[in-house]
Amino acid sequence: MSLSPTLPMALPDLPVARVAEIAPFDGQRVQIRGWLYGRRSKGKLHFLQVRDGSGIIQAVMFKGDVDEATFQRADHLTQETSLIVSGTVRRDERSPLGFELACDGMVVVADAAPDYPISPKEHGVAFLMDHRHLWLRSRRQGAILKVRARIIKTIRDFFDGRGFLLVDTPIFTPAACEGTSTLFETDYHGTKAYLSQSGQLYNEADAMAFGKVYTFGPTFRAEKSKTRRHLTEFWMVEPEAAFMDLDGTMELAEDLICTICRDVLADCGSELDLIDSIRSEAEQDRQLKPRREALAAVHKPFPRLDYKDAIRRLHELGSDIPDGDDLGGDDETILSRENDSPTLVYGYPAEVKAFYMKRRPDDPDRTLSVDMLAPEGYGEIIGGGQREDDYDTLVAAIHKHGLPMEAFDWYLDLRKYGSVPHAGFGLGVERTVAWVCGLPHVRETIPFARLMDRIHP
Ligand code: 4AD
Ligand code: MG
């Protein structure tokens, strides 16, 4: 057994086929480069499940088709051994892929130590998270991350296609955007800096420069809560547009979500089915809809609920939330179970929202804010609204929130030099992926989750 890779001198002189794009190679000889996912043997046959990152193909090795040494070698391969197999692609209606490989050659690149920790049996979450660097190789994790990548592509295409300019905002910032209680502080050459909680404030400057913009990057919150919705590092897309109001924001958010559902259904149906087919008992207990069904049920217009009506409805449903409070995780869970499409709750009290929120002209104690709650108990996936565009009102709000005025001088300039009504929102990628895939926790929606109690591996 050798754990060091040795690329054999005599590599097969054949086209390298990717499993996901195997169909055009039907009837041809190819090579596949990957890892051994699983194996079983029956008399003169070895069935090798070969994983190449794009999918898994079964290589059927018949004793008569390879030399004796290769056939013997195949009998002793450990899970995750890296290898190259050659053979002829042929249709096979019984396999989930629709094709298999009639194997006529195999070279081992490197053996895997025999104690590969992730076996087909069910492991505990802590164990799996400790082995996340290997857990990523599992089929279900691959499917989830493919859905994530598809959602991110949709987001980019959506905003690019609507004339929003991609403008990146800084990660090191001198001030808070979303309250001072979740700031990650760092030493910046002798002064205090914070990791960005949101690109919004810079995005507002970008919107005044370019009209319609979006920023898409990692954001950071020193969340003290260990919940299924909270990461300390997560990805957020934030569109911002000059001359857009609260209604425009709600429509934009609704269109984005409908487009995500449409694209995932069109391109990731098999990934959704795979995710549905491998659920732990705890997940099954949640009795979620099959994901295709859940996404197909999302339709415009989404239900819109004034904050006051949301409180009334919550009271009817048995919650004792005081009027004026922010909705807690449980309240969001209850409310979002009511509809098949996400719910838009708007008009939150100023008291529970950030300093930059514009007050409602008809009710100055409340704001032109909106949260989108994903169905089936998932809760908030989007937060946004119209921004305070009046200089004096904004100065007063910065004072009231106890924020350092000098850090916001540039931000106030935006109200001094040609202020316009403007609005935007932030969509959390991980919470969106969790809902789309029907996952019990956001930790599986990002390759390496950063949680309150986890920064390893
Ligand atoms: O509601 P939030 O805090 O809004 C903002 O940051 C605004 N400045 C965005 C804007 O208007 N440009 O966060 C937006 C979204 C939430 O709805 C949620 O999906 C996600 O970001 N989010 C988190 N996701 C995972 N872990 C956390 N700790 C999150 N905090 C917020
Ligand atoms: Mg929010």
Question: Which ligand sits nearest to residue 382's alpha carbon?
Answer: 1
Contact (CB, 8 A) for 166 and 130: no
Determine which of 25-34, 174-183, 360-369, 394-403 has the lowest per-residue pLDDT on average: 174-183
Residue closest via CA to ligand 1's atom 1 equals: 383
Q: Which atom of ligand 1 is nearest to the CA of 354?
A: 8
Query: Percent of the chain beyond pLDDT 90?
Result: 91
Gap from CA of 385 to ligand 2 centroid (Å): 10
Architecture of domain 128-445: 2-Layer Sandwich (3.30)
Cα separation, 101 vs 83, in Å, equals: 14
What is the CA angle 11-13-18, rounded to 5?
90
Question: Which ligand sits nearest to residue 451's alpha carbon?
Answer: 1
What is the band of 10 on the pLDDT scale with cuts at 50, 70, 90? Answer: low
Provide Rg for the chain, Cα atoms.
Answer: 26
Question: Which ligand sits nearest to residue 384's alpha carbon?
Answer: 1
Question: Which ligand sits nearest to residue 229's alpha carbon?
Answer: 1
Average pLDDT of span 30-46: 97
Residue closest via CA to ligand 1's atom 4 equals: 383
Residues lining ligand 1, Cβ inside 6 A = 177-178, 198, 200, 221, 223, 230-231, 234, 236, 238, 380-384, 424-426, 428, 430-431, 442
Gap from CA of 328 to ligand 1 centroid (Å): 14
Cα separation, 4 vs 24, in Å, equals: 34
Gap from CA of 24 to ligand 1 centroid (Å): 43
pLDDT value of residue 12: 76
- Every domain range in the chain assigned CATH 3.30.930.10: 128-445
pLDDT value of residue 179: 86
Cα separation, 322 vs 307, in Å, equals: 12
Gap from CA of 350 to ligand 1 centroid (Å): 17
Report the predicted TM-score, pTM, of the whole model to 2 decimal places. 0.96
pLDDT value of residue 283: 77
Q: Could you list the beta-strand ranges (E) of 127-276.
A: 165-166, 172-173, 185-188, 191-195, 212-220, 233-242
Gap from CA of 426 to ligand 2 centroid (Å): 8
pLDDT value of residue 60: 98
pLDDT value of residue 175: 87
Average pLDDT of span 63-91: 97
Mean pLDDT, all residues of the chain: 95
Taking residue 4's Cβ as centre, other Cβ atoms within 10 Å add up to 7
pLDDT value of residue 447: 98
Q: What is the CATH number of domain 19-110?
A: 2.40.50.140
Average pLDDT of span 305-310: 97
Please, how many CA atoms are within 13 Å of residue 415, restricted to the half-sphere of its CB?
16
The model's pLDDT over 399-415, given as tens digits with 9 standing for 90+, comes to: 999 999 999 999 999 99
Gap from CA of 56 to ligand 2 centroid (Å): 40
Taking residue 335's Cβ as centre, other Cβ atoms within 10 Å add up to 23
pLDDT value of residue 9: 56
Cβ neighbours for 48, distance < 8 A, ≥ 6 positions apart: 36, 39, 58, 59, 60, 61, 74, 77, 85, 103, 106
Q: Are strands 343-346 and 212-220 parallel, antiparallel or unpaired?
A: unpaired
What is the band of 148 on the pLDDT scale with cuts at 50, 70, 90? Answer: very high
Q: Could you list the beta-strand ranges (E) of 5-81.
A: 29-42, 45-51, 56-62
Contact (CB, 8 A) for 421 and 243: yes
What is the band of 363 on the pLDDT scale with cuts at 50, 70, 90? Answer: very high
Query: Percent of the chain beyond pLDDT 70?
Result: 99
Q: Is the pLDDT of residue 119 over 90?
A: no
Residue closest via CA to ligand 1's atom 2 equals: 383
What is the band of 68 on the pLDDT scale with cuts at 50, 70, 90? Answer: very high
Cα separation, 370 vs 307, in Å, equals: 9
Q: Which atom of ligand 1 is nearest to the CA of 425?
A: 11
Q: Are strands 212-220 and 165-166 parallel, antiparallel or unpaired?
A: parallel
- Every domain range in the chain assigned CATH 2.40.50.140: 19-110
Average pLDDT of span 218-229: 92
Cα separation, 361 vs 401, in Å, equals: 20
Q: Identify which of 197, 236, 252, 427 to mutate to test ligand 1's pocket (most ligand atoms within 8 A of the CB).
A: 236
Query: Cα torsion at 445, 446, 450, 453 (round to 10°)?
Result: 40
List alpha helices for 102-215, DSSP H. Answer: 125-130, 132-135, 139-161, 200-210
What is the band of 361 on the pLDDT scale with cuts at 50, 70, 90? Answer: very high
Contact (CB, 8 A) for 267 and 257: no
Q: Which atom of ligand 1 is nearest to the CA of 200?
A: 12
pLDDT value of residue 443: 97
pLDDT value of residue 449: 98
Contact (CB, 8 A) for 136 and 447: yes
